[in-house]
Each structure stands twice: as C-alpha cells, then as structure tokens.
Copies of this chain bind each other. A is one copy, B any other.
Amino acid sequence: MCELLGMSANVPTDICFSFKGLKERGGNTGPHKDGWGIAFYQGKGVTTFKDAQPSHCSKVADLVSDYPIKSNSVVAHVRQANRGRVALENTHPFTRELWGRYWTYAHNGQLRDYRNLPYSRFVPVGTTDSEQAFCYILSELALKYPDGPRSRPAMFKFIKKLCDGLRQQGVFNLLLSDGDYLFCYCSTRLHYITRRAPFGQARLSDVDVDIDFAKETTPNDVVTVIATLPLTNNETWQAMGIGEARLFKAGQCISQF
C-alpha cells in the first residue's frame, strides 16, 4: 500500500513540517520505500518532485523537507509497490492537463480488474492500477464536460460517483487537485486536521520534531492537512468515513458528500 499527504491553505504555506513526518514512513518508520513524490501548486502552475528511491534517504526529499516551498495546494505520496514495478513512471503523484488546468492525483490502495477500466483521451504511461484509474476518471470528465463544467461542485459530485464505483474493485483512497480545489475520497483510511488561530504546538509521530505554529503563521491563516494516518501525536485529527468525500478550498472544507 502507500501513504498520502495533502494540504489546502488560504495563504501560500510550506509543508516542511508534515513532509518531515511522511518522508520517514518511506522506508524508515513505514514500509513505503518504492518511491515518493510531491506536487506544489502556485496559482495555476505546478512543480513536482519525484524519485523512485525511498524518501527517507533521498537527497531530493531532504531538500523538500528543509527548504520552504510556499503553496496553496499540495499532493504527496510515498509508495509501496503492488501493481507496477518500482520506476519513475509508476511514481505518484500523476499530473495531466484538462480544460487548461493541471490535475494532480495520488492514490492509496489497490484495485482488482483495473485493466478493464476504460480510458480514451488520457492514456497511462506506466503500469500501475493507480494511473489507469486516474486516466479513467479524467477521460470520463472530458467526455461528460467536453468544454469544461459550468459548476465545479457538480463536477466533484460526479467524480465522487466514479470513486464510489472504483471502491467496489478494492481500496481507493484518493487525493486530487486542480490547484484551487483539493478533493479527498476515503475508501478505508484518510484523516485530516484544520489548523487556524489560536495556533498551538505540534509534535511529529515519526521523528523527534516539534513546531510552534503560532510563530509561523498569521491569525488569518487556515491550513488543512490530510494524511492516511495522523502525522502528529498531540493534536486531534478527524477520521473520514468509508465512502466519504470532502472538498477543500483555501484551507476550508466547502463540501462533504
């Protein structure tokens, strides 16, 4: 399996603290040693750091955990390979352009019969069930909304229905972002925490690091972090329900399906 990490924030925010925890799960405190990746949105642009090596000993992951890259929306993943060999083309997150927007996707779980999932406009490059499911979702979106959706909330409801179908074929925990929105779907395990004023201290579970968010933020900041399992051990994370989707924008949950 794998672990997911996402962030939605109302001001450009770095994810160094949370990523420090996640990166240890990539081969040190967790078995997810088969590659890792992280995508940072800045406006409509996105930059993705990926590596087929374990994150806990990757020089690139060291940079990402130490150097504050400010972003409003982040999607990250550490991989334990099940479908598809260990290789860069099989490393999450995956990104495609649709309607002049970059869509970035990371998946935790595995799917039976994924080879029967139809895709048309978007074609997998690698050999994972995850990427095939991504190409299926985007191809269905392109078919349903050839000129783009008039209503984004309605579009995310449609994506939620596709996820409900995919969940019937196995485990399908998902993070999906277009830079503005972060869509999260829970098939088995996904947790989130929304931090806002008054900010307090937080301590990572996987490595001896703590932070005082009051020193790093302004009173108006709202930042939600989503992870497969809670990353800190002195805060209360919310567990999402099975089959539940949440849509975040600018740090806030704006819809729950």
Contact = CB atoms under 8 A, between A and B. Distances in A.
Interface of A: 37, 42-52, 59-60, 63, 67, 87-91, 95-97, 99-102, 121-126
A125 B96 contact: no
Q: How many chain copies does the complex carry?
A: 2
A123 B103 CA distance: 13
* A-B residue pairs, 7 tightest by C-beta: A45-B88, A45-B89, A100-B123, A47-B50, A42-B88, A44-B89, A59-B67
Contacts of A47: 37, 48-51, 88
Contacts of A67: 59-60
Contacts of A88: 42-43, 45-47
A90 B45 contact: yes
A60 B102 CA distance: 22
A63 B44 CA distance: 25
Nearest to A119: B100
Given A42-B88, A95-B95, A97-B125, 20 more contacts: A37-B47, A42-B87, A42-B89, A43-B87, A44-B89, A44-B125, A45-B50, A45-B125, A46-B88, A47-B48, A47-B88, A59-B63, A97-B122, A97-B123, A99-B123, A100-B123, A100-B125, A101-B125, A102-B125, A121-B121
